[in-house]
Amino acid sequence: MSHEQDIDKHVRTYIKVFGALLVLTVVTVAVSYLHLSTGAAIALALVVATVKGSLVACYFMHLLDERKLILSVLLLTVLFFFFVLIGPWATELNPIVL
């Protein structure tokens, strides 16, 4: 595959993602005109926002190409989060006598 064909392929992908983002923006606005309950409207808006955010992150921020690094950072974050949660609990079980 030549360099020009590779660039054309990426440009077509970006245009498709841009079109999807436009459609999802219209869906977001359309949801505000539906007479849904507040909870249902918020849930639907969050789903649309999650899809839009995922499209931006995966394609425009090129995160699809960095899976190994992203998973490593995510795992490190989860481990750190559990240590932060377990730390106070562990000290409550074994109080230090001063």
Q: Which tens digits make up the pLDDT trace of 27-76?
A: 999 988 998 998 998 899 999 999 999 999 989 888 888 888 888 988 99
Task: Please check whether residue 57 lies inside any domain of the structure.
Answer: yes
Q: What is the pLDDT of residue 50?
A: 95
Task: Please check whether residue 26 lies inside any domain of the structure.
Answer: yes
Q: What is the pLDDT of residue 66?
A: 83
Task: Please check whether residue 59 lies inside any domain of the structure.
Answer: yes
Identify whether the C-beta of residue 48 lies closer than 8 Å to the C-beta of residue 27: yes
In the chain, the number of structural domains is 1
What is the amino acid identity at position 9? K
Interatomic CA distance for residues 77 and 98, integer angstroms: 33
Interatomic CA distance for residues 42 and 59, integer angstroms: 26
Tell me the CA distances in angstroms from 29 to 24, 35, 41, 55, one per residue in order: 9, 12, 11, 18
DSSP character for 66? G
Report the 10 Å Cβ neighbour count for 55: 16
Q: Tokens 């992203």, residue?
A: 70
Task: Please check whether residue 72 lies inside any domain of the structure.
Answer: yes
Q: Which domain holds residue 19?
A: 4-93
Task: Please check whether residue 98 lies inside any domain of the structure.
Answer: no
